[in-house]
A and B are shown apart, each in its own frame.
Chain A
């Protein structure tokens, strides 16, 4: 079946620290991979995506690379800000089926 496993939170970092949130997946075929972000009190927003192996998605300083050999799509940012505090969801989209989300990782960035 299709599933996404992401690291348990919460993750607490100081401002300007390096961020990694791990995400691994199992899927049939070749899915697209996504990171969504949910800021407090809001709905989910697409942060970045990658549609094939070795693609790198990037947005707002965040990056993730689609690694087929390790079935991973880890989210990274070189220097986090307080405004990055949110819940981050890794998701995959197998062909013709809806998004499958991980359980979310809460990030808190302190000044």
Chain B
């Protein structure tokens, strides 16, 4: 069974469109994250939710809106897609919120978004 799953795996779309990426974890974790990995493999945190509440919101355009319907799901909706949004987006989860490394994060396989 996949611990952290994301759909879709690949997403190709036109500029200006709105798209969503879904993430589910079956590990019973309380905390979930979204990361963006650019073409140079640089990985950066975007958001984190703990028990459906937003706890981390890095400097991300407000075109990106995370939604957590329950602890096991954290979806990412992106409005008015731009060329610079092309990247790989990773979902992750951990048992506890960030607390000096006591938690291990488990990553999904990634969603490769290409904006044309």
Q: Measuring CB to CB, which residues of chain A are less than 8 angstroms from any residue of chain B? A: 29-34, 36, 41-46, 49, 51, 87, 89, 92-99, 101, 103-104, 106
Contact = CB atoms under 8 A, between A and B. Distances in A.
Contact of A93 (B33, B98, B107, B110): B98
Contacts of A92: 101
A32 B45 contact: no
Given A98-B33, A99-B105, 7 more contacts: A29-B100, A42-B109, A46-B106, A49-B104, A51-B100, A92-B101, A101-B42
**Looking at A43, A51, A94, A101, which has the most chain B CB atoms within 10 Å of its CB?**
A43
Interface of B: 4, 33, 40-45, 48, 56, 90, 92, 97-102, 104-110
B102 A46 contact: no
A49 B103 CA distance: 11
B33 A103 contact: no
B107 A97 contact: no
A24 to B, nearest CB: 17
Residues of B contacting A: mostly: loop
Contacts of B98: 93, 96-99
B107 A95 contact: no
A86 to B, nearest CB: 11
Contacts of B106: 46
Nearest to B101: A32
A46 B106 CA distance: 8
A15 B45 CA distance: 34
A34 B106 CA distance: 13
Contact of B102 (A29, A36, A51): A51
Given A45-B107, A49-B101, A93-B98, A98 B45 contact: yes
Nearest to B99: A96
